Amino acid sequence: MNNEYTLQTAKEHLEASMRLMQEDIQRMNTDYEEQIYRWKQERAEIIAQNANIGKAVDKLREEVNSQRAKSRGYKDKLRLANSAIKTLSNKIVQYESERNAAHPSSGVAGHGTMSEELIRVGGLNIEGGGRDSNNSNRGSEAAEDIKQAI
């Protein structure tokens, strides 16, 4: 009977150990499945963030291209304005030179004679035919000069 008791105890011990191992395996499987679920959620969030970043990059790229186009247009308009200023300045110098040549004593009082280096229009001195578009202060000075001349 002692032998039978020992076998019964060993069997119960093995069954208890087996239950504990099965519970451990079940707990490990549950943890593993929860981790996989969390990783899949994190992956989905990262993919969504990546898509949002991609959209933001595309929007910025379009904005940069738009600003470049506006800048090119501005530079072209500035070159055209500078060319017009230079042409008008040369015409004013030519007119003043012809007028002074035709009537040397009829210069305007207080203004002296005109030269090609400095042109006086109203209260504004315009030098040598406009500004270089690369050296302009984004056109603010040229626009201010034109406003004052008008």
- Residue-wise pLDDT for 43-74, tens only, equals 999 999 999 999 999 999 999 999 999 999 99
Distance between CA 39 and CA 23 in Å, rounded?
24
What does each C-alpha distance from 23 to 15, 102, 140 come to in angstroms? 12, 116, 79
Ranges of the chain whose pLDDT falls below 70: 1-5, 7, 104-150
Total structural domains within the chain: 1
Question: Does some domain include residue 25?
Answer: no
Question: Does some domain include residue 68?
Answer: yes
Domain range holding 130?
33-149
Question: Does some domain include residue 6?
Answer: no
Q: What does DSSP say about strands 124-127 and 118-121: parallel, antiparallel, or unpaired?
A: antiparallel
What does each C-alpha distance from 71 to 63, 68, 134, 147 come to in angstroms? 12, 5, 12, 22
Residue type, 115: S
Question: Does some domain include residue 84?
Answer: yes
- Give just the sign of the alpha carbon dihedral 136, 139, 145, 150: positive
Question: Does some domain include residue 120?
Answer: yes
Question: Does some domain include residue 81?
Answer: yes
Q: What pLDDT shows up at residue 147?
A: 58
Question: Does some domain include residue 112?
Answer: yes
Question: Does some domain include residue 21?
Answer: no
